[in-house]
Amino acid sequence: MFLKGTAIFGAASVLAGSGYRHLYNLNKRDYQPEGRQSYLAGIQPLDNQGNVPNILLICLDDLGFGDLSIFTETPINTPNIEQLAHDGTSFSNFYSCAPLCSPSRAGMLTGRYPVRTLVPMPLYHAGSPMDIIFNLGGVYACGVRGIPEDEILLSEVLTARGYRTALIGKWHLGDRSPSLPNERGFDYFFGAYYSNDDSPYAIYRNDQVAIKAPADQNTLTQRLTEEALQFLEGNHDKPFFLYYAQPFPHIPLHASKEFQGKSKAGLYGDVVEEIDWSIGKILDFIKQNSLEENTLVIFTSDNGPWWQGSAHGLRGRKNHIFEGSFRVPLILRYPGIIQSGSICPALTMNIDLFPTCLDIAGIDLPKDRIIDGNSLFPILRDENTLGHDTLYFYKGDTLLAMRQGDWKYIRRHMTDNGGYASLRQGPFLFNLVTDPYESYSLIESHPQIAKEMLEQMHTWDQELTNNLRGWLDLT
């Protein structure tokens, strides 16, 4: 009887605790879906479908800042991406808003720091061991397991404006309703819900399985290329938004037979060279159909390199707080509007892509919420515009670093130092102009700068504690 009673009491305690946490999470989420609905309903549809540019957003997965020959020599041959840089503007101080996949994409598609979107950590498919662990362990912010329904995504805004929209490749913002691609503004979806190391790895066409798990990843880039070209073939006579979210060079690495052994950088290089081929096919279609002059092309990566790839000598890699984790490539091409062959040093982040796309599509930003990003077009039009004054760097929902001008302050945290990775080190203060590799902390010689930056981080922390979601009072 005692054991039975203990078991019943234990089960009741677990259920009560689970119920309390569920209610707590619901309250803390601070959902406000009415603002999203009102904003999307108020977007003016296009009168003349030829008066806005097409948008091609290319985002690679775990590509390093030094994997391209824009800023350095590399054994990887990427002529199409190099030509894109020659025809457009490259950014030398462009950052991801997160060191991991899901939060980086959440920030890029909303223009907001991922902590505001309640997606500060990677998401995992329903029922997987990691999904269960993250949920029971409270790792998911407020229990959120997909991009919240009150967040406004770039795809939703452009759909409301009259664009035809497609996501080809990796979603990684949830596999549950209402967080599926077709529910979040994409007319067409072909790809995977999660990273290519997730299992079972299936490929979907809209909400139906197109390639059963385990999908053959050796031919994946070619399949994605075919799907992208088919979408363009059927929609290039009207404004389109194509989000080409390549699942590579995230591991496991896969390339088709045509590219295996082709590069001088091993399988990783083979994968990147096949991606370059794929991008070339898409850009050729745009050129052959006289769409170049009316298409904004954006090329970037979601975060720095992981086990392979080059961070261009910068310290750290994926999931670190140092530059190698957050600094990523950005190329913008828009003939006649964006200068060709130039390098922009402005301090920028992928949260800027949302307002940039709204800017060229003639759409006002939402007014019911804080949009942390800024349009890049004022920077491109005026060389004296320096971009952000300050950028904040999170690991999960913890603010660990801040960049302001030439200076970067890093709080004491568990670092990347080999056998001592479990030990906390810091704080650090680096001057990224004199020391871009974050090798020499100047915190002892410039204590006042460190003090002021830390105080600003405390202020920012408090602002988010008071209003995590960033809602604005319109009354």
For residue range 95-111, list pLDDT tens digits in order.
999 999 999 999 999 99
Tell me, what DSSP letter sits at residue 352? G
Q: Taking 70 as the threshold, does the pLDDT of residue 148 lie above it? A: yes
Do residues 264 and 314 lie in contact, with contact meaning Cβ atoms separated by under 8 Å?
Answer: no
What's residue 12's pLDDT?
47
Domain ranges of the chain: 52-389, 394-466
What's residue 45's pLDDT?
93
What's residue 406's pLDDT?
96
- The residues near 177 (Cβ < 8 Å, ≥ 6 apart) are 183
How far apart are alpha carbons 317 and 340 in whole angstroms? 30
- The residues near 79 (Cβ < 8 Å, ≥ 6 apart) are 276, 280
The residues carrying an active-site annotation are 101, 172
Six-digit token string for 238: 């009207």
- In 381-434, the DSSP E strands lie at 390-395, 398-404, 407-410, 413-414, 424-425, 428-431
Task: Sort strands 188-192 and 203-205 into parallel, antiparallel or unpaired.
Answer: antiparallel
User: Residue written as tokens 């704080």?
Assistant: 427
Q: Taking 70 as the threshold, does the pLDDT of residue 17 lie above it? A: no
Six-digit token string for 430: 């680096």
How far apart are alpha carbons 172 and 181 in whole angstroms? 10
What is the topology classification, in CATH, of domain 394-466?
Arylsulfatase, C-terminal domain (3.30.1120)
Average pLDDT of every residue of the chain:
92
**3-class secondary structure, 171:** coil
How far apart are alpha carbons 423 and 334 in whole angstroms? 47
Q: Is the pTM of the predicted complex or chain greater than 0.85?
A: yes
Residues 308-329, mean pLDDT to the nearest whole number: 95
**116 falls in which pLDDT band (50, 70, 90)?**
very high
Residues 380-389, mean pLDDT to the nearest whole number: 82
What's residue 416's pLDDT?
72
**Spelled out in words, what is the top-level CATH class assigned to the domain 52-389?**
alpha beta
Residue 214: count of CB within 10 angstroms of its CB: 10
For residue range 50-69, list pLDDT tens digits in order.
689 999 999 999 999 999 98
